[in-house]
């Protein structure tokens, strides 16, 4: 019995060794295959071609020098979106003085003077500026803007931040100008009110003195009159060290010369009139 049990135990151990030796070999093969597949997936198939990565699209800005009346940013976007993708649009409104004049005239419509349009790709912006410049805005006869022409220019190396900085600078300048005007108006009003109060106080003092019977000295304005031409000539001649007699003689000579010139004019008139009468 013991011999048979030992044989059975040896057979069971051999079976266990065979099973334990075969199983880990299969698992190692699977792991090696998984590593190779991962390498192939990471590196990619050598037969497949790599797709070239395109350049980044830089935005380009176009300047509009003329904007017809009744044209709004929405209309501008619809008109230019046919040629390419559009980003931001800014249209400069009219000056406030022009708006006031229009309000007085009875028109409330607001129009724009100039504008800037940003295209997503600057190459598209260059093509649009080159092709649409000096062409009709409206393609159809019934459109509002058939009689208007595009006035487009591409701005090289111009970015949207430059425009925003310029607008911010103009706003600060306008606010500063308004502040100075307001401060000047305040000074003028304060000066006027101070003079009014001063005049009222002076009137009260004058009335009090009149009641008391005191004499009131009214202030008079002293001013110098400008010299006449004769006085200017006399002063010039005095500077030249001339006496009064010589001055009188010079004046007499000037009068004689004027009289002679007048007499010559009369003689010439008589001569020409007589010749016309004979004809």
Task: Please give the order of strands across the beta sheet that includes 86-93.
Answer: 86-93, 112-119, 60-64, 152-155
Q: How far apart are CA 110 and CA 70, in angstroms?
A: 8
Q: What is the DSSP letter of 194?
A: H
pLDDT of amino acid 177: 92
Compare 271 and 185 and report the one with higher pLDDT: 185
Q: Are 69 and 117 in contact (CB under 8 A)?
A: no
Q: What percent of the chain has pLDDT over 70?
A: 72
Question: How far is residue 173's CA from residue 115's CA, in Å, rounded to a whole number?
Answer: 21
User: Could you read off the pLDDT of 118-134 as tens digits, one per residue?
Assistant: 999 999 999 999 999 98
Burial class (CB in 10 A: 0-12, 13-18, 19+), 270: exposed
What mean pLDDT comes out for the span 18-32? 42
Percent with pLDDT over 90 in the chain = 25
* Bridge partners, 93 (sequence order): 112
What's the pLDDT tens digit per position in 3-12?
Answer: 444 544 555 5
Point out which residues pair with 90 in neighbouring strands.
116
Check residue 19 and give its pLDDT.
42
């Amino acid at each position: 019995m013991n011999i048979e049990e030992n044989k059975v135990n040896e057979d069971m151990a051999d079976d266990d060794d065979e099973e334990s030796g075969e199983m880990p070999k299969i698992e190692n093969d699977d792991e090696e295959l998984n590593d190779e597949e991962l390498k192939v997936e990471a590196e990619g198939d050598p037969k497949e071609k790599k797709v070239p990565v395109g350049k980044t699209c830089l935005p380009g800005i176009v300047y509009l020098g003329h904007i017809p009346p009744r044209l709004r940013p929405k209309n501008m976007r619809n008109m230019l979106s046919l040629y390419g993708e559009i980003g931001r649009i800014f249209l400069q409104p009219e000056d406030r003085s022009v708006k006031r004049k229009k309000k007085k005239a009875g028109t409330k419509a607001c129009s724009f003077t100039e504008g800037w349009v940003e295209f997503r790709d600057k190459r598209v912006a260059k093509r649009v500026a080159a092709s649409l410049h000096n062409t009709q805005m409206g393609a159809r006869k019934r459109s509002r803007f058939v009689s208007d022409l595009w006035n487009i220019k591409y701005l090289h190396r111009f970015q949207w931040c430059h425009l925003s900085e310029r607008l911010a600078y103009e706003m600060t300048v306008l606010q500063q100008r308004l502040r100075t005007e307001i401060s000047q108006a305040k000074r003028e009003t304060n000066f006027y009110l101070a003079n009014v109060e001063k005049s009222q106080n002076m009137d009260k003092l004058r009335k009090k003195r009149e009641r008391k019977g005191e004499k009131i000295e009214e202030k008079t304005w002293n001013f110098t009159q400008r010299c006449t031409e004769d006085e200017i000539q006399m002063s010039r001649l005095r500077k030249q060290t001339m006496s009064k007699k010589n001055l009188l003689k010079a004046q007499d000579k000037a009068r004689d010369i004027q009289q002679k010139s007048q007499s010559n004019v009369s003689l010439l008139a008589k001569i020409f009139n007589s010749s016309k009468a004979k004809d």
